[in-house]
């Protein structure tokens, strides 16, 4: 799992960067973009499951961020603020287009990140993906952010504007649904 | 396996869920961001770039435009032909009017060639009350005239109705609603109303030719229009969700058909008791489709689908179009 630690972003002097971006400094805009684009793109891709959509959502996120940078009041970190825009754009975009990824596509195309797929049964892989797709939007978002992308509940709470307890509850619900969905493969998981 | 072990397994297994590519296309996306910011905040979701939809359907827009333009042209031509032939039918003398004219010509003190009747003309002399003397002028100013003999005064006209050009329509003094028109009774039973066929019959009775021509033209136009509407509604129902970009084009098509539908609703075609409700329901559906756009919510599309299903619009359209007329 490739995680970008938030600590690495603390080196960015946020307030200075924000002021430079608001002032229209091109170099600052690019710096802001380079700092966060990987993480935003990864999350958008996880949610969309489609390269075109992920690019669109990422671009829309940064366009919106540049437009609204002037209204950023610093009540949360710049990263949290940007991620909340990213998740909002992605979920709204998915609702509008309703273009969820098609499972008919060869699975190996997207398996370039180091995973343990080679040791897992293809049917289980397929079943797990379908089960995650079938989760409700809020459960799937929390599950993807926490279990797949490694966000903490605090970060999820700030990004989705929900209490930490709600984030934990959603994750618990998501795991329970997945456990039931995969019961065929391991009956002992179902209590 | 315990719950914790399952959670660990889940975390590991789920890493392959929608796995992103190892390299983020930074520069490509940055170029798009800069381009979009330069041209405005417009961004099309669901495609690689704002230009992608056009590339995906290179000819779809042009085809729809051509089809819509052809449909509008056809309907406009048909309605024009229908109105033209209806006016000609009203001007053309029927055998009954010819007989009446010949009788007029035989009446003394009356010019053989009377000017064309207008809406304000009174009844034909053959329908005069028996107390009146044929061949005697009606003007009370003339000694010995009918009105002078009977003591009848000429009617005072404060706001005389005026005709509306050559279309034979009478406009009230207020200029709003048409006033009842003076009917000219013609022996033989046919009735002229203000130079236009009576609306109840649609066409002049006793003249098969004049009656059939407008009817055929209107029917032809109506069938063409219904066929086009069926094509539009079928396209709407069979389009996939991924074709949301087509909604704008469907809306433009529907806008043209909506104009035609309203023209037909104002034509004799709508006198048909079965066709009028169909046209009205079609108008409702088209109004909804006109408002479609790529940003339209799924619920709105569902509402259109529901209207189509509840009113059986598509089925009724297909029923209204005789076999062999589709696709013409």
- pLDDT tens for residues B45-72? 444 433 333 334 444 556 677 888 888 8
Closest partner residue to A33 (CB to CB) among B6, B30, B46 is: B30
What is the least distance, in Å, from the CA of A143 to any CA of chain B?
Answer: 9
Q: Nearest-CA neighbor of A38 among A82, A69, A102?
A: A82
Chain A: residue whose CA lies nearest to B32 = A59
Burial class of residue A63 (count of CB atoms within 10 Å of its CB; 0-12, 13-18, 19+): buried
CA distances (Å), origin A38, targets A5, A9, B31, B111: 12, 12, 15, 98
Whole-model pTM?
0.42
Chain B residues touching chain A at CB-CB below 8 Å: 1, 3, 6-7, 10-22, 24-26, 28-30, 32-33, 36-37, 41, 43-48, 52, 241-242, 244, 294-295, 298
Give chain A's length: 191
Residue A165's SS3 state is: helix
The mean pLDDT value of chain A amounts to 82
Q: Nearest-CA neighbor of B264 among B217, B201, B304, B231?
A: B217
What is the band of B33 on the pLDDT scale with cuts at 50, 70, 90? very high
Q: Which pair of tokens denotes residue A151?
A: 């966000």
ipTM of this complex prediction, to 2 decimal places = 0.79
Burial class of residue B310 (count of CB atoms within 10 Å of its CB; 0-12, 13-18, 19+): exposed
Q: Nearest-CA neighbor of A98 among B242, B86, B127?
A: B242
Residue A83 pLDDT > 50, yes or no? yes
Return phi, psi of residue B140, to 5°: -65, -20
A132 touches chain B (CB under 8 A): yes
The mean pLDDT value of chain B amounts to 64
Maximum CA extent, chain B: 123
Residue A5 pLDDT > 50, yes or no? no
A171 touches chain B (CB under 8 A): no
pLDDT tens-digit series, residues A170-188: 999 999 999 888 887 765 5
Number of A–B residue contacts, CB under 8 Å: 146
What is the band of B243 on the pLDDT scale with cuts at 50, 70, 90? low
Q: Which of A181-190, B106-115, B265-274 has the highest mean pLDDT?
A: B265-274
**Residue A85: predicted pLDDT:** 95
Q: Please, are residues B96 and B187 in contact by the beta-carbon 8 Å criterion?
A: yes
Mutate to test the interface with A, among B5, B22, B33 (most CBs of A within 10 A): B33
d(CA B321, CA B222): 9
**Residue A183: predicted pLDDT:** 80
**Residue B208: predicted pLDDT:** 43
Give the rounded percent of residues in chain B with a pLDDT score beyond 90.
5
pLDDT tens-digit series, residues B297-314: 777 778 888 888 777 888
Contact A115 B18 (CB under 8 A): no
Return phi, psi of residue B162, to 5°: -115, 155
**Residue B11: predicted pLDDT:** 86
A26 touches chain B (CB under 8 A): no
Which residues, numbered 58 to 117 in chain A, qualify as contacts with chain B under a Cβ-Cβ cut-off of 8 Å?
A: 58-60, 62-64, 66-67, 93, 95-99, 101, 107, 110-113, 115-117
Helix (H) or strand (E) holding A89: helix A78-97
A129 touches chain B (CB under 8 A): yes
Q: Please, are residues B263 and B218 in contact by the beta-carbon 8 Å criterion?
A: no
Q: Please, are residues B45 and A48 in contact by the beta-carbon 8 Å criterion?
A: no
What share of residues in chain B are helix, strand, coil (percent, to 5)? 55, 5, 40
Bigger pLDDT: B115 vs A72: A72
**Residue A124: predicted pLDDT:** 80
Contact B11 A112 (CB under 8 A): no
Chain B: residue whose CA lies nearest to A36 = B26
**Residue B183: predicted pLDDT:** 36
Q: What would the mean pLDDT of A10-29 be, rounded to a whole number?
A: 83
Angle (CA) A77 A81 A87, round 5°: 140
Contact A111 B19 (CB under 8 A): yes
Q: Tell me which residue has tokens 């195309």.
A: A109
Q: Tell me which residue has tokens 């005697």.
A: B136
Chain B residues touching residue A67 (CB < 8 angstroms): 41
Lowest mean pLDDT among B3-7, B82-86, B144-148, B218-222: B144-148
d(CA A144, CA A167): 12
Residue B191's SS3 state is: strand
Chain B: residue whose CA lies nearest to A59 = B33
d(CA A133, CA B92): 73
What is the band of A122 on the pLDDT scale with cuts at 50, 70, 90? low
CA distances (Å), origin B314, targets A169, B231, B293: 47, 10, 22
What is the least distance, in Å, from the CA of A148 to any CA of chain B?
Answer: 6
Q: What would the mean pLDDT of B280-298 be, rounded to a whole number?
A: 81
Cα atoms in the 13 Å half-sphere on the side-chain side of B187: 12
What is the band of A27 on the pLDDT scale with cuts at 50, 70, 90? very high
Bigger pLDDT: B12 vs A123: B12
CA B116 to chain CA mean position, Å: 32
B192 beta partners: B184, B197
**Residue B8: predicted pLDDT:** 84
Q: Which pair of tokens denotes residue A67?
A: 């437009």
Q: Please, are residues B278 and B320 in contact by the beta-carbon 8 Å criterion?
A: yes
**Residue A43: predicted pLDDT:** 95
What is the band of A80 on the pLDDT scale with cuts at 50, 70, 90? very high
Contact A53 B33 (CB under 8 A): no
Lowest mean pLDDT among B96-110, B164-178, B224-238, B255-269: B164-178
């Amino acid at each position: 799992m490739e995680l970008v630690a938030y600590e690495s972003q603390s080196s960015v002097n946020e307030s200075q960067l924000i002021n430079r971006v608001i002032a229209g400094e091109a170099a600052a805009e690019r710096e802001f973009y380079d700092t966060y684009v990987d993480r935003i793109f990864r999350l958008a891709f996880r949610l969309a499951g489609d390269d075109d959509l992920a690019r669109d959502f990422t671009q829309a996120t940064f366009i919106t961020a540049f437009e609204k940078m002037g209204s950023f009041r610093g009540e949360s970190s710049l990263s949290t603020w940007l991620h909340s825009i990213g998740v909002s754009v992605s979920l709204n975009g998915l609702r509008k287009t309703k273009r969820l990824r098609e499972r008919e596509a060869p699975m190996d195309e997207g398996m370039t990140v180091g995973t343990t797929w080679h040791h897992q049964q293809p049917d289980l892989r397929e079943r797990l993906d379908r089960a995650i797709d079938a989760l409700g939007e809020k459960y799937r978002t929390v599950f993807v952010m926490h279990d797949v992308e490694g966000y903490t509940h605090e970060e999820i709470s700030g990004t989705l504007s929900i209490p930490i307890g709600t984030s934990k509850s959603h994750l618990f619900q998501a795991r329970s649904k997945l456990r039931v969905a995969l019961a065929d493969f391991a009956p002992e998981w179902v209590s | 396996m315990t719950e914790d072990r399952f959670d660990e397994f889940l975390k590991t297994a789920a890493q392959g869920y929608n796995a992103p590519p190892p390299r983020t296309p930074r520069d490509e996306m940055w170029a798009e961001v800069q381009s979009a910011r330069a041209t405005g905040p417009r961004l099309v979701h669901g495609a690689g770039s704002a230009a992608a939809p056009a590339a995906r359907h290179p000819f779809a827009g042009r085809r729809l435009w051509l089809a819509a333009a052809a449909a509008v042209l056809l309907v406009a031509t048909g309605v024009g032909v229908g109105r033209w032939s209806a006016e000609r039918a009203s001007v053309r003398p029927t055998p009954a009017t010819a007989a009446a004219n010949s009788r007029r010509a035989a009446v003394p003190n009356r010019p053989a060639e009377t000017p064309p009747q207008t809406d304000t003309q009174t009844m034909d002399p053959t329908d005069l009350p028996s107390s009146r003397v044929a061949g005697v002028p009606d003007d009370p100013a003339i000694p010995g005239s009918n009105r002078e003999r009977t003591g009848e005064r000429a009617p005072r006209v404060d706001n005389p109705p005026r005709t509306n050009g050559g279309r034979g329509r009478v406009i009230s003094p207020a200029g709003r609603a048409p006033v009842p028109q003076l009917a000219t009774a013609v022996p033989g039973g046919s009735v002229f109303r203000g130079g236009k066929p009576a609306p109840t019959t649609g066409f002049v009775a006793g003249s098969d030719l004049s009656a059939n021509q407008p009817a055929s033209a209107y029917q032809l136009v109506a069938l063409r229009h219904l066929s086009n509407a069926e094509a539009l509604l079928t396209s709407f129902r069979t389009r996939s969700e991924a074709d949301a970009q087509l909604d704008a084009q469907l809306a433009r098509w529907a806008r043209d058909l909506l104009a035609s539908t309203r023209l037909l609703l104002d034509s004799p075609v709508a006198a048909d008791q079965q066709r009028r409700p169909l046209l009205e329901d079609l108008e409702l559906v088209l109004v909804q489709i006109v408002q479609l756009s790529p940003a339209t919510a799924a619920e709105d599309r569902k509402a259109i689908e529901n209207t189509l299903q509840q009113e059986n619009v598509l089925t009724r359209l297909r029923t209204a179009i005789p076999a062999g007329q589709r696709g013409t």
